[in-house]
Amino acid sequence: MPQYDYVYLGDNARAPYGTRSFEIVYEFTLQAVKKLFEEGCRLVILACNTASAKALRTIQQKDLPRIDPGRRVLGVIRPTVENVDKLTLTRHIGVLGTPGTILSNSYTLEIQKLFPDITVTGEACPMWVPLVENDEFDRAGADYFVRQHIEAILSRDSQIDTIILGCTHYPLLEKKIVPYLPKHVRILSQGNYVANSLSDYLHRHPEMDCSQNGTIRFLTTEAHDKFAAMAGIFLKEDIKAERIFLGNE
């Protein structure tokens, strides 16, 4: 949907969120949402599984009615979960995520709400985000940490035939993950599912009336040059970022 205007905000100075408490993740996420509202965004996507797991529901139920009932905040877990039913034959799903996402039990709750016959097994992978953030994800040292968690989750449920990459960083590790999976196991990477869900949402909610000038702005709580270098790993292009401040930084 390149016609829409986007504002991307990365709280890179305080990341990763995966090992932080529920209270802190909620506090940080709400600060980011308010900032994006100040920038004119009518719809905010929490493009982080930990924030979606720990903060989304509270923001939707408690904060949005007070701040602006006409705006929306959505997450990445529900759009992912809605697609697992089409992929699994054994009805056994694995979820790889940060400690925060796994401890929240959000994937299990959402999947069993929609598909109560599916068994869900979660595996926390605390070292995977640092591997990506430090540009080590495609090097030999990453194999140990990838193999360790793939073997662990499959040892707990050998009937898993679909694995959700429950963190936005993990797709960069996909080439490392595949060799350690049995050939029949599918990987569900969130990007396309979330994008398609957003497209469908905007089609069903024309009242959101998001601006369409094809612009993109990148905001970060880190030094802009450091953010640009990291973003290049994901986007494969040069970008310009603006540094902003949230909360009591």
- State the catalytic residues: 48, 167
**Rounded CA separation 12/167 (Å):** 15
Q: Which two tokens stand for residue 77?
A: 């877990």
**Rounded CA separation 49/144 (Å):** 24
Q: Which two tokens stand for residue 44?
A: 């905010």
Strand partners for 44: 73
**Rounded CA separation 137/181 (Å):** 17
Token pair 């796994």 is at which residue?
Answer: 102
C-alpha distance from residue 132 to each of 128, 145, 222, 234 (Å) = 7, 12, 17, 10
